[in-house]
Amino acid sequence: MIKKMKLRDIAGSTEHLTCGHRLCTGCAEPVIVRQVLHAAENPVVVANATGCLEVATTIYPYTAWKVPWIHSAFENTAATISGVESAYRALKRKGKIDKKINFIAFAGDGGTYDIGLQSLSGALERGHAFLYVCLDNEAYMNTGIQRSSSTPRGSWTTTTPVGEKIVGKPEYKKDITEIIAAHGIPYVAQTAPSHWMDLMTKVKKALKVEGPTFINVSSPCPRGWRSEPEESMRLSRLAVETCYWPLYEVENGVWKINLKPKKKPIEEYLAPQKRFAHLLKPQNKHIVEDLQRRVDERWETLQWKAEVSQQRSQQKQQQQTSANPTSQ
């Protein structure tokens, strides 16, 4: 049972990511990291892929981290944290360590959806006990706002510019959360920093699991999304309220939607972001309509998965109870 969190308890707890880092004003990444680390009840070891979070929190000879922290290459964060977790298990077997330690990896969408997917998939298949947190800002922001497979259709990036030939990125955003869920690991979730209670509850759940877990977090980026810094948390909330970024979890194969908002039109999410400004012109109305259609379809599919998987779970429990009446 996860104990309900109170803001006064969080405010009084130790900060594991200090102020003074050099992440951009309005960047959601430090907010997310602080929420994740505040939710951890045990000592943690962090692995951090190359990216905005890594370069801006560890400008040599300084660091903003107050926990053991390892910088790995862009593509191998999951391999790094699985190696550390394996060493920990070996030390426990030898009786050289007896305390509970949690292992957390942070990486952006480029290091997760794309270049790091092979490393992550392998670590999940091997069953290492760690939490992998994807900070999804929907492009390669650290190296100049290039498109990734997380970048949504129609979005402006430096490698999908808006012009006569193309109108932003022509392909759809990859659904990495569903891809990870297909690995059959114990816990997978999607959340957003605007919904701090949801995010921190999911982190607590994930860190209690004996096995690999994954949480995908929407991470607004003012620089890449071409939005105002003070708009980041509002954009995070709009992503949820438009069902562009639904809050859900997959626990032992059972899908559960954590929030069913009164759905807002996708335009409300697109409008504050200048990376989508061209889509609001009359000649590009069809792209917005297509994005809305895709959001609607995916939301309907998610609801269907939640309903069916919960029904199957209940049926399985009833069958087990019927087979073992003495357990009642």
pLDDT tens per residue across span 6-51:
888 888 888 999 999 999 999 999 999 999 999 999 999 999 999 9
Domain residue ranges in the chain: 7-297
pLDDT grade for 326, boundaries at 50, 70 and 90: low
Tokens 């690991």: give the residue: 185
User: Looking at the whole model, is its pTM more than 0.85?
Assistant: yes
On the question of pLDDT at 182 being above 80, the answer is yes
Instruction: Calculate the average pLDDT of the chain.
Output: 96
CATH of domain 7-297: 3.40.50.970
Task: Say which residue the tokens 């960047």 belong to.
Answer: 27
Confidence of residue 3 (pLDDT cuts 50, 70, 90): confident
Burial class (CB in 10 A: 0-12, 13-18, 19+), 209: middle
* Residue pLDDT, tens place only, 99-140: 999 999 999 999 999 999 999 999 999 999 999 999 999 999
Q: What is the pLDDT of residues 148-177, one digit of tens each?
A: 999 999 999 999 999 988 999 999 999 999
Confidence class for position 328, pLDDT limits 50, 70, 90:
low
pLDDT digits (tens, 9 = 90+) for 253-302: 999 999 999 999 999 999 999 999 999 999 999 999 999 999 999 999 99
